[in-house]
Structure 1
């Protein structure tokens, strides 16, 4: 019940304006009670705050049963009209969301495909001639005969994939007769030992918990590194047997395999690579190399004792560090060795490299900073001025590593725990293209690391549903072209007639590789409208457009599955039917898509001014779809479907995705990787946090993301996705410090203190990575975590307007009120 209430409050809060300066209730701000024409009556703070959230019905899943959300749910037919929409035609999809969302259980037979080159799967939108046993593909209009095993099909006996409610179906893919059983998941741990002893103890503790949570059949391996790389042979349990690699030298995959005795010819004294009898090759590679697996990768049930002994013996790197120097850390070579080992032992099956990094790479390939402490780690300013001497070379190295891992079907996960940077900005390519997980924390002892690390091995309701070896394909109506994808995937370079000339992200293809994916993984697909001459003629216009997403992946249980999601939307004439366009606008999806789009442009385009680009886009959108009289700002108003969009843009302009000042390149890379892979609901929380008030006067209620929401007798709970802040007003903090909550006559106060803690725990338990919990007081040093996210309606320049007991923000940033005034004036200009 508590979790349901929390989700409901977050949904309610998201429907409120961020800028309380526009139309706060008179109770909170007598000087700002005027309603802004930007906001519709449906967002009235009175109606939301007066209602008891627990009495309301639970909100429907915003992502729908298919986990697909469009920026525009009605599409214009021409390129010109599409460009006038300002917000791109894009779709956000979670390819393997939880099975509970499916209307039917997985189907135990292979899917039926349309004839090439279409190859779309049979779906509920297909037209079926039951008498002739023919189905017509809605995407390409080809006529296809049903195969013999569909002979019993009739109007009263249809397969599940033709049910209207089964727009998303899953198929179980059985291998050919005699094919081997799927390999268990593989986890190769890569541990940084260039850390202090206390940090290493935290790592050991987390590793023991992780191994205890792994299924007994899962294969595990261990690589440790500091100045040198140590690969531990777990299969030699009589004593510790370690293969050592120099950290200062770049080493090729062939050299790694030769040193390990896993190359084609082998080394003297080592057995050659052998293939198990009856095991088929995958892409020309051996799916299982017995000698390598038995030596370096063993089931947990067989090596748990050996692993425990190795962890007990593990010590911080013993190589001496000279005064004024950084520790010698060869991260690049360690990851290279790990990738080479997996490529030799388990190519083409689900495997993860889980790297635990405690500092920057200073030796060998992938160096981000020299050993000399006098050289600072690169900053955003250095990257802008091209003054980071190691950056481009490191990026090139990790680009090569990413290609190797993708070709092998393996994933790179990084858990970075350090006060300094570790090189996430350089590793971004390898992590994102393999679909890896990433967590950034300050210490291996911090709950952000410990709880997040444990979460990836847990089962049950907290399981991430880690899947492997996915491919993602798109089929669509012929008038639609695919521009590309932003998200954790890599292009498979499957070119064809459906590829657009304009490329966004991973483009010029209709198929992508997803080495690792989970229930939260989301992709953003950008489309272009390219109508053919025939489709523009009367009588040839199909009123509907169709898009099909097909995901093949290795399920956490081991078997291969195919999930097909087919969706349909309406074509509209944008020049004459603006109302349908407006009614189909999804402002949350549009905000997230723009955030992902400008984050990409900031990385690939020099001198790109994201703030100016966002402002111009918002002005064009409001000018196109607003209701106003020319040159009369007071007449301006927006449809309810657009009413929240200006505040999303206001908060996006101020977010860590656009404003990189005060953030390191590692932090910026971390924020953007999570923005690109999370669901729309989670991404909106990153852009515009939610704020809930707890007080004696009313039940927990969503309030405005504004400094005026602060009161001395109120507790505020801020969910900013990466952090959860519990903020106590001054009076509440004083009462707590005087321990009133421990007195029997003040049990109500104790309950008030406990309520936001419980709500925060519900948020933390349902999220990966685990957010940082900050508990602070008004005027305290950590209150900055809240104040930085609030609308600065009261600053040091307007202190006379501050309600008693509220607060002010020391900033020169404009408030949402001023932002909207400028927007209205510019949108109505002739």
Structure 2
């Protein structure tokens, strides 16, 4: 798969089928949709934005690219998406086949332009703090926020809102005494009511130049609540330092009154009254119980909803639908105004991420679910988010590399992504943390997958890790397939602004050949990227999970796997052992096996908030990290050999090795029984066993590297074989040896020091799963 990864490094693209089927029927028979994973802000090495505007087609507005047909004699070009002939600008009079501008060079299939627009205002950060928590926890949070003020650029506008029984919007213009506007937490306010209470007066502002649209700006009073750090740092630091838990008494047997819905509505309304994008960052320490958006009753006798309550619509889930719809409405407002919403849940209890998930999903925001504010997982993740809000020069961008940067995300704002396709293709939809711009165009398919019926999407908060899945339809009918000599094209136009306000357009154009599934099936097989295909199918499954039960989705995945193998495997009817499959498909069943067993679909042991958290990152991460979420990585550290990857299988768990397990959300160092016994006897502390001490440091060092380079910071666990925490590893391993198939081995385990781990489970092993798959395939 190195050729596919090389393409991803250049363009940020991974396609399920790199050679497309040449008709709609053939595309259907391929089972896995024609689609791609696209990382719009993938780090580009040795490339600076061009300091001139792109040349666009006067009919469809796509951009001149290396695959456009250029007539050097007439100085014109033909659009490869709508076939419109366009005249080149006067600045291109000197071009020839030996003197090409950068955008026509084949190696510049991805290129950036610095747009001649007035700079956007520097984004604002509005912190929303839940104060219904213990004093020590609140102090941990406020200390972290105070540190954040020293990291953010001093010209950044910041604001502060707290929520408890009521909502307080702090006036940062006052230096002598602290002042706040108080809103009743139990009331559902309209946008106009919040604006009136905050004293925000709207007025139309004419554009300063022809490149700006007329804007509604809110002058005067909004500066009371959003102030640059260099003017308000003392004031906001004093407020944070003196912040106390909510003063309203909580009756015994009751939950605190938390007005999260009103607080988020106020925050989004406040930022929407400002010209420019921004982020609402919410810090929650418990469930919403008061006012709009409440997810549970104040009375603790009424438990919070779990998955079975939601599936079965029990009395515990009576708040779910109303709260979900309320937060979705807020998400639509935030998306309309280019506001990203980040949700940090730091509580042993659920706070309602399940209901609030669209706030982050539709705006490109981030989610974190952990236990407390006093954890490395929270502190480090929040620090990485804030530390990327810096003004990066071209030189610093050039040196930034996603694989080596300690903080791999680079924040950008208010991105729009337009998709253009040649006449053989249409875009069926997108799945990811984005929202539709409802742009109707000739490139939109009637087939709908994900967020569909549009050829343009917005991502309010975007970074170099944000990845979207796009799905396409082959238009040609089976009786008029795409000719074998024709090359189709897909173009992505990503327009965004950096933290410093510069507007950038990134143009990515990808050409594709077509082949017949009947006469050129080998070519189609060679172009199959099983990693990208697995992630595209997994995202499709998660999209379906909003309306379908997990068991229904698992049956759908099994059905598609059977159909895929029926089409591309070689076998003799009713002879399972005769089945053979190309290496291009060999790992795909393994991905599906681990995906159907993962906590993305098997939600029994997870809360709805945790499930929403896990699914959120499958919908935003690149191919590598998504595969890690689907099938975790396992690295073995033997005493007498070099470290090496091993199968995610119970046979890899041995007494005399250390294992490093990485599931994206969890990094675990696992000591086999013998290793654990030596540690217990303090061998690593004795001078004659210094080599053993160094051996133990190697996996821990590798674990630190993994955690340092990832957002959000994973949970870190060190455990021994037989410990309760070893369940995190055992639950994800293929149970090749279980209590039901290894009785003889268990009886003889004392005779064999290399005896593998036996897993106590009724789950089927991968070998059983694969054998059953073969039986179903050969039966036709």
Q: TM-score, normalised by structure 1?
A: 0.88
Structure 1 position 324 matched with structure 2 position 253? yes
Deviation at 1:809?
Answer: 0.9
Deviation at 1:452?
Answer: 0.5
Give distance in 2, aligned partners of 1:545 and 1:156.
25
Change (3 A) 1:442 1:163: same
Aligned pairs for 1:5-84 within 5 A:
61=6, 63-84=8-29
Partner SS state of residue 603, structure 1: coil
Q: Which of the residues 625, 638, 641 maps onto 1:698?
A: 641
Cα deviations by residue, 1:473-515 (Å, 9 ceiling, x for unpaired): 0000112111110011111111122211121111001011111
**Greater relative contact order: 1 or 2 (C-alpha under 8 angstroms, separation 6 or more)?**
1
Structure 1 position 160 matched with structure 2 position 160? no
The two structures, once aligned, show a CA RMSD in angstroms of: 2.0
Deviation at 1:290?
Answer: 4.1
Aligned pairs for 1:307-346 within 5 A:
307-344=236-273, 346=274
Q: Which of the residues 741, 745, 760 maps onto 1:810?
A: 760
Change (3 A) 1:341 1:139: same
Give distance in 2, aligned partners of 1:575 and 1:295.
68
Q: Greater CA deviation, 195-204 or 164-173?
A: 195-204
Partner SS state of residue 785, structure 1: helix
Change (3 A) 1:285 1:274: closer
Partner SS state of residue 238, structure 2: helix
Aligned residue in 2 for 1:210:
148
Aligned residue in 1 for 2:438:
493
Structure 1 position 201 matched with structure 2 position 139? yes
Partner SS state of residue 471, structure 1: strand
Deviation at 1:638?
Answer: 1.2
Partner SS state of residue 333, structure 2: helix
Change (3 A) 1:510 1:542: farther
Deviation at 1:237?
Answer: 1.1
Q: Which of the residues 748, 771, 774 maps onto 2:691?
A: 748
Aligned pairs for 1:257-272 within 5 A:
257-264=195-202
Give distance in 2, aligned partners of 1:629 and 1:492.
50
Q: Is the 8 A contact 2:484 2:514 kept in 1?
A: no
Give distance in 2, aligned partners of 1:536 and 1:727.
54
Change (3 A) 1:512 1:276: closer
Cα deviations by residue, 1:715-756 (Å, 9 ceiling, x for unpaired): 000011110110001111111122211222111101111001
Aligned residue in 2 for 1:633:
576
Structure 1 position 422 matched with structure 2 position 351? yes
Give distance in 1, aligned partners of 2:676 and 2:29.
52
Structure 1 position 142 matched with structure 2 position 142? no
Aligned residue in 2 for 1:171:
113
Partner SS state of residue 506, structure 2: strand
Q: Is the 8 A contact 1:360 1:420 kept in 2?
A: yes
Change (3 A) 1:408 1:763: same
Aligned residue in 2 for 1:657:
600
Structure 1 position 241 matched with structure 2 position 179? yes
Aligned residue in 2 for 1:5:
none
Aligned residue in 1 for 2:306:
379
Q: Greater CA deviation, 605-614 or 63-72?
A: 605-614
Q: Is the 8 A contact 1:552 1:562 kept in 2?
A: yes
Structure 1 position 512 matched with structure 2 position 457? yes
Structure 1 position 404 matched with structure 2 position 336? no
Aligned residue in 1 for 2:71:
129
Partner SS state of residue 591, structure 2: helix
Q: Which of the residues 365, 368, 387 maps onto 1:439?
A: 368
Q: Which of the residues 505, 520, 537 maps onto 1:562?
A: 505
Q: Is the 8 A contact 2:200 2:219 kept in 1?
A: no
Aligned pairs for 1:717-728 within 5 A:
717-728=660-671
Q: Is the 8 A contact 2:408 2:711 kept in 1?
A: no
Q: TM-score, normalised by structure 2?
A: 0.94
Give distance in 2, aligned partners of 1:535 and 1:135.
28
Q: Which of the residues 478, 492, 495 maps onto 1:552?
A: 495
Aligned residue in 2 for 1:825:
775
Partner SS state of residue 426, structure 1: helix
Give distance in 1, aligned partners of 2:223 and 2:321.
38
Aligned residue in 2 for 1:25:
none
Aligned pairs for 1:455-604 within 5 A:
455-459=384-388, 461=405, 462-531=407-476, 536=481, 543-604=486-547
Give distance in 2, aligned partners of 1:575 and 1:468.
46
Deviation at 1:58?
Answer: 13
Aligned residue in 1 for 2:379:
450
Give distance in 2, aligned partners of 1:751 and 1:636.
47
Cα deviations by residue, 1:579-638 (Å, 9 ceiling, x for unpaired): 011100000011111111111112123686122111111111111111222221111111
Q: Is the 8 A contact 2:427 2:443 kept in 1?
A: yes
Deviation at 1:140?
Answer: 2.4
**For this pair of structures, how many residues does the alignment match?**
755
Deviation at 1:139?
Answer: 2.1
Partner SS state of residue 457, structure 1: helix
Give distance in 2, aligned partners of 1:533 and 1:790.
44
Change (3 A) 1:364 1:451: same
Aligned residue in 2 for 1:356:
283
Partner SS state of residue 745, structure 1: helix
Partner SS state of residue 798, structure 1: coil
Deviation at 1:556?
Answer: 2.7
Q: Is the 8 A contact 2:429 2:472 kept in 1?
A: yes
Aligned pairs for 1:794-805 within 5 A:
794-799=737-742, 800-801=744-745, 804=752, 805=755
Q: Greater CA deviation, 152-161 or 685-694?
A: 152-161
Deviation at 1:342?
Answer: 0.9
Structure 1 position 297 matched with structure 2 position 226? yes
Deviation at 1:449?
Answer: 0.9
Aligned pairs for 1:250-261 within 5 A:
250-261=188-199
Aligned pairs for 1:700-739 within 5 A:
700-739=643-682
Q: Which of the residues 216, 227, 232 maps onto 1:286?
A: 216
Deviation at 1:333?
Answer: 0.3
Give distance in 2, aligned partners of 1:262 and 1:277.
21
Structure 1 position 120 matched with structure 2 position 62? yes
Deviation at 1:156?
Answer: 2.4
Structure 1 position 646 matched with structure 2 position 646? no
Give distance in 2, aligned partners of 1:677 and 1:197.
35
